[in-house]
Amino acid sequence: MPNPAQITCVEDFRILAKRRVPRMFYDYADSGSWTEGTYRANTADLQKLKFRQRVAVDIEKRTLRTTMIGVDVAMPVAIAPTGLTGMQHADGEILGARAAAAFGIPFTLSTMSICSIEDIAEHTRKPFWFQLYVMRDRDFIGGLIDRAKAANCSALVLTLDLQVLGQRHKDIKNGLSTPPKPTLANLVNLVTKPRWCMGMLGTRRRTFGNIVGHAKGVKDLSSLSTWTAEQFDPRLSWDDIAWIKKRWGGKLVVKGIMDAADARLAVDCGADALIVSNHGGRQLDGAPSSISALPAIAHAAGKDIEIWMDGGIRSGQDVLRAVAMGAQGTMIGRAFLYALGAMGEAGVLRCLQMIANELDISMAFCGHTDIRKIDRSVLVNGSIFDTHAA
């Protein structure tokens, strides 16, 4: 078992997770749609932004603390909602929520999680955020919202870019379905993952806890497959968001904004924050990277709404780049999943510590001491993605 302190970057976690997590679930996390061009662009475009190093500046007292929709956070990072997290590691959502709470950042639970809303509430005793997919069954959606309220969730994150499912070639080739297909290749691969198998044998949480037993007619994994195929609602509109906001009554975040016009609609619908996100490159391949879309969206939205970003963030330097380009907060998905799959709760905590350390040191090299005061002045080429009118 590696010592968490010897892990020095997210790539170390990725390599270890690839060894420990069954191929179908590792590939589910580490893949994009079609050619994976947008998936790769998310990371590549972040690396194009170069820092402006400053010297002989007093950088002794530094702080990464800020707020995200009024929540005090240890750094401008939250854990993004990720489906099937509990298949990267047994009880993965519980472990991720615990690590996030211990570090002092928000955790977001996906509708398509393995552990349920109630599981997270029971095992963390800290407020968390819940991510909602809009299904055709509005009674089920209303029930999810009510369950999130009862669990003391402090924000609802509404994902808007999954009305239809992007074609993910690795998932098709691996037979990843609901439930997963027990192909010979998958069974052989499972034999090589004894740690993962033992963890799964030790937990009762091996299905979609927010859906099975709650949605009409869904009593087990076999009935879940048909329900899921029919339920993602292609009719979703901004009018539905008004109904959801009224039913929820609390802080609302909309996720999946990639266009300036949609940013203004997010403002008009009364959302408290929007997330610039292309679903990690897992939906529309050929879409811009999140970081390249950020400036135009920030320009269009102005100061009427908080702007966050996800997609491609693998380090504290990436967080600094996103903040410099106009994001008040960021979310991490794959970095979190790699750490979880590699080393469980200890891995997630170590991942957050690494990101914070990288963010702190990089901010210092740029001559700044307060993350809340970061702007494009820390970059030498901060205008490379500008497409909006001055």
- Which tens digit of pLDDT belongs to each residue from 287-339? 999 999 999 999 999 999 999 999 999 999 999 999 999 999 999 999 999 99
Taking only the tens place, the pLDDT of each residue in 110-144 is 999 999 999 999 999 889 999 999 999 999 999 99
Q: What is the C-alpha to C-alpha distance for residues 307 and 297, in angstroms, rounded to an integer?
A: 8
More confident residue, 217 or 247: 247
Q: What is the C-alpha to C-alpha distance for residues 110 and 130, in angstroms, rounded to an integer?
A: 6
Q: Is 33 annotated as a binding residue?
A: no
Mean pLDDT of the chain: 94
Say what the pLDDT of residue 390 is: 41
Interval 167-188 mean pLDDT: 82
Locate the domains of the chain by residue range: 4-378
Interval 202-225 mean pLDDT: 84
Q: Is 289 annotated as a binding residue?
A: no
Residue 99 has pLDDT above 90, yes or no: yes
Say what the pLDDT of residue 233 is: 87
Catalytic (active-site) positions: 279
Interval 336-359 mean pLDDT: 98
Confidence label for 221 from pLDDT (cuts 50, 70 and 90):
low
Q: What is the largest CA-CA distance in the chain?
A: 66
Check if the beta carbon of residue 120 is closer than 8 Å to that of residue 106: no
Q: Is 217 annotated as a binding residue?
A: no
Contacts made by residues 60-65, CB under 8 angstroms, sequence distance 24+ = 60/369, 61/369, 62/360, 62/363, 62/364, 62/368, 62/369, 62/370, 63/369, 63/370, 63/371, 64/356, 64/359, 64/360, 64/363, 64/371, 65/371
Q: Is 65 annotated as a binding residue?
A: no
Domain 4-378 is in which class?
alpha beta
Say what the pLDDT of residue 125 is: 83
Say what the pLDDT of residue 98 is: 98
Check if the beta carbon of residue 340 is closer than 8 Å to that of residue 96: yes
Q: Is 159 annotated as a binding residue?
A: yes
Residue 389 has pLDDT above 60, yes or no: no
